[in-house]
Amino acid sequence: MKKLSFKGGIHPEDGKYLSRDILIEAYTPKQVIVPLVQHIGAPAKVVVNDGDHVKKGQLIADAAGAVSAKVHAPVSGTVKLTEAQLAFGRKCPAILIENDLADEWIERKENEDYLSLSSEQIRTIISDAGIVGMGGAAFPTHVKINPPKGKQIDSLIINGVECEPYLTSDYRLMVQYGKEVIEGVKILLQCLNLKKAYIGIEANKPEAIRIFRDLTKTIPSITVHSLKVKYPQGAEKVLIKSILNREVPPGGLPMDVGVVVQNVGTAFAVFEAVRYGKPLIERIVTITGEAISNPKNFKVPLGTSVSELIQACGGIKGEQGGKKLHCPFLDWVHGSGSKIVEGVKIISGGPMMGFALYTTDIPVTKGTSGIVVLPKEKAAGNEDFGPCIKCGKCLNVCPMGLQPSMLGILAEKRMYEQAKEYNIENCFECGSCTYNCPSRRPMVQLVKTAKVALKG
């Protein structure tokens, strides 16, 4: 059978062999630091006080706007109001909870007959559970599954591609919790009042494809599609093109072509919330890379320290007493004073679209799919990038059919308004152009800078 695909894209070394076959391991931290900013939209508003004792699953910060998400206690214990360092460099208010290890839960409402619930009931449960997109974007799910009037949705796509190199959290979820994911897909179909869902999985995950096809062979409303192994196959707009041959217009959203896309992790979280009344308080995280002593897949409470998880994997290979290295490129991205562990690059998310970290003292959030630690020989940045040589290699791989070379030149010259004429807003920053550039130009960083400037 022909594998579905798209025009453009690249084939980076995927590195998934390091953690692909490692079973998910539960990890219990002594404390968590839960940021109020871990979703797209308005930060959540604190509803607890210093010294309060909270139970697991208790609401600790309420949604503060139409696009916002509630935050719940990942562990039971004592509260302290503080702040947290985030992966992309800024700090935000946070709630520290000293884990009393009692694992004391709030009272939860379960729904055995969950497929009999109305759309509104399901959306309310999902909203109350604080569920957001688990693929990294972290958009509040209750907003995404409530399209505005005039937007006719006819298809649900479930994203099981996980095309980012090294990451295996979605793969392990599909293999170990496939039945629960499928039940989550059924709930989403019920909520959206749809008759068809398409599950896209890259062909390099044959076990996940086999499991999902076995689980859905008697469910005509759900079909499983094997996709060609090519980055960025898992991007929303690319996935829609590959499976349904529909093109999202420039500046548009999937709902503009009648589609809602959700990650497999989101479907799993939806099932746990609707069936068992469990809010989103934990997630699966891959800690991997050639510089990690023992790569693992963890199920961890939100707010768990990345540094702690790296140590739980045996630490970084050859780490020299915690020495830090000055990195001019990280200064440019994060500001002066940035430091990384000597000889490695630590990335939150995948190496293509993730954030290079200058500290590991950051917490796991709802959007943290993994931490990748690469050795020096694989961690070359773009510090010594050169001028554009107009070779056209970036044009050949751009999945959106843009002109990355021109976008990079205009952004570098701070000609942001002119960059709009080249549809800079339609770039979703996959990094294919940067990967393919012989001059090592940091197009993604340049585009990000231009977008921030254009927003004012």
Q: Name which of 262, 287, 251, 456 is nearest 368 in CA terms.
A: 287
Annotate 89-152 with DSSP letters as a single string. Answer: S-EEEEEEEEE-S--PBPP----TTGGGS-HHHHHHHHHHTT-B-TTTT--BHHHHTSPPTT--
| Tokens of residue 52, six digits | 């309060």
Alpha carbon 456 to its chain centroid, in Å, reads: 26
d(CA 177, CA 199): 15
Residue 319 has what pLDDT? Answer: 65
Task: With beta carbons less than 8 A apart as the criterion, state whether 22 and 49 touch.
Answer: no
Would you say 289 and 372 are in contact if contact means Cβ atoms under 8 Å apart? Answer: yes
Q: Please count the other Cβ atoms lying within 10 Å of the Cβ belonging to residue 206.
A: 11
CA atoms of 21 and 10, how far apart (whole Å): 25
* Residue partners of 223: CB distance under 8 A and separation at least 6: 196, 197, 198, 199, 216
Q: Alpha-carbon distance 407 to 17, whole Å?
A: 35
Give backbone dihedrals phi and psi of 209, rounded to 5 degrees, phi first: -60, -45
pLDDT at 334: 36
Which residue type is seen at 402? L
Domains and CATH numbers, the chain: 16-22+110-276 (3.40.50.11540), 28-99 (2.40.50), 285-378 (3.10.20), 393-455 (no CATH)
Measured CA to CA in angstroms, residue 325 lies from 89, 171, 314, 340, 427 at distances of 17, 34, 21, 5, 32
Structure confidence at residue 327 (pLDDT): 42
pLDDT on residue 149: 87
Comparing CA positions, the residue from 291, 334, 322, 233 lying closest to residue 18 is 291
Asked if residue 78 lies in contact with residue 53, where contact means CB atoms within 8 angstroms, the answer is yes
Single out the residue of 58, 199, 180, 211 nearest to residue 114, CA to CA.
180
Q: Looking at residue 370, what is its pLDDT?
A: 97
List the chain pLDDT tens, one digit each, 456 residues: 456 778 899 999 999 999 999 999 999 999 999 999 999 899 999 999 999 999 999 999 999 988 999 999 999 999 999 999 888 778 899 999 999 999 999 999 999 999 999 999 999 999 999 999 998 789 999 999 999 888 899 999 999 999 999 999 999 999 999 999 999 999 999 999 999 999 999 999 999 999 999 999 999 999 999 999 999 999 999 999 999 999 999 889 999 999 999 999 999 999 999 999 999 999 999 999 999 999 999 999 999 999 999 999 999 987 644 444 444 333 333 333 334 566 788 999 999 988 888 889 999 999 999 999 998 777 656 567 889 999 999 999 999 999 999 999 999 999 999 999 999 999 999 999 999 999 989 898 899 889 989 987
Q: Which residue has the tokens 């992966």?
A: 87
Closest by alpha carbon to 187, among 230, 156, 147?
Answer: 156
| First vs last C-alpha separation in the chain | 48
